[in-house]
Structure formats: C-alpha cells, structure tokens
A = this chain, B = another copy of it.
Amino acid sequence: MATYKIAIIVGSLRKDSLNRKIARSICALRGDNLDCSMVEIGELDLYNQDIDTDNPPASWKRFREQVGAADGILFCTPEYNRGVPGVLKNAIDIGSRPYGKSVFDQKPAAIVSASPGSIGGFGANHQLRQACVFLNMPVMQQPEAYLGHVTDDSFDADGCLKEGPLKELVTKLAHAFHDWVNAILRARELLLHDAAKEQAKEPA
C-alpha cells in the first residue's frame, strides 16, 4: 500500500489541546501508510491582503510551503462559538491566497472535530466543509467524526487513546482516510492518463 504525506492542522493553540492528541492518535494508528506532520499555525500573522505581496510574511511562506508539500490534509479542531476557531480559519485564509495559488487546491482531506461536550464540534466541522468546497478539496464523507465527551482521561500516559468506542471510531476513520486519499489521488492519475491518450489520438 502506498504511503501518503499528510499535513495535520490543529485548530487550537492550547499546549494540551485535545484535538492535538486526537491528531497524534490518528498518526499512530496508521503510521505505516500515513506520513503525518503537524503544521503549526500559532505564529501566523493575521491575514491582510495588503501585505500579501511578492514578499509576504515569513510565517505565511513557511505555512504555504509545508501545506503545499503534502498529499492530503487532516483537520482536527475544536469548536469556538459554534464555528471554526479564528486561528484555524486564519491559517486557511492564508493558505488559500493569493488568488489562483491556493496550496489547498485538489488535496483530499478529512475533518475531525473533538470536544469535551456532547456535540463534538458539529458546527465547526460543517463550516470547514463549506470552506473546502471553495478550496476544491475533496473531503471524506464517512465516517463523520464529531467526537464528543473527549477529555484528558480519554488518553493513556503515552497519549494513546484508551480502548473503547472512541478508539474504535478513530481507528475506522484513520483507515478510511488512507483509502480516501488513495482513491482520490489514483483516480486523478487515471483521468490525466485518459486525457493524454485522447490527445495522442487527435490528428496533427
């Protein structure tokens, strides 16, 4: 099975963020085929088109390069005020510009939202999906991951998810995400291959 480079973007800057722990768990569960790296967003300057010139802030350049190098994107985020945290949306806005040069374009994605409450970040999850439409990112539909009742106690001393329904869902999701990235990237190759063949057939 192919291994894919996955950029993980976590929607909370808290050092002990539950979503960061969930993200690490997903990596650990599929470390064989998902080559994960966290892309940090806490140092990013606020997006302002006026400074998005040929020489934008270094923090933006670094972020755009790291995301651009990935095969797929995994978002793990809490919900703030029934929506996407501003820190995460700021990162997305930065990666999406300048117009026509979005580093997110065409990358397959999955969205996980986790919270200590019961709703599991449903609002943040679907607002992110709305952004992904514009960003042209095919997002995995199932399993949905509104992870509720997640607390520090969901993890063992090594930061791994304890056995139970939460770990089962996250494991299922990690496998489905690998399949989704695999499917989208190989399908794209097929289409490109077909298009090349069509073109070759055309008379000079």
Contacts and interface: CB of A to CB of B under 8 A. Distances in A.
Interface of A: 1, 12-15, 42, 44, 46-50, 80-94, 96, 118-120, 122-123, 126-127, 129-139, 141-142, 144, 146, 148-149, 179, 182-184, 186-188, 190-191, 194
Given A80-B96, A188-B183, A86 B14 contact: no
State how many copies of this chain the complex holds: 4
Contacts of A183: 184, 187-188, 190-191
Contact of A46 (B13, B148, B190): B13
A183 to B, nearest CB: 4
A89 B82 contact: no
B148 A142 contact: no
20 contacts: A1-B194, A80-B96, A81-B93, A81-B134, A82-B133, A83-B83, A83-B130, A85-B89, A86-B88, A87-B93, A118-B118, A122-B122, A122-B123, A123-B130, A127-B127, A127-B130, A138-B138, A182-B187, A183-B187, A186-B187
Contacts of A83: 83-84, 89, 127, 130-131
A193 to B, nearest CB: 11
A133 B138 contact: no
Contacts of A42: 46, 48
A188 B186 CA distance: 10
Contacts of A82: 126, 130-131, 133-134
A120 B148 CA distance: 12
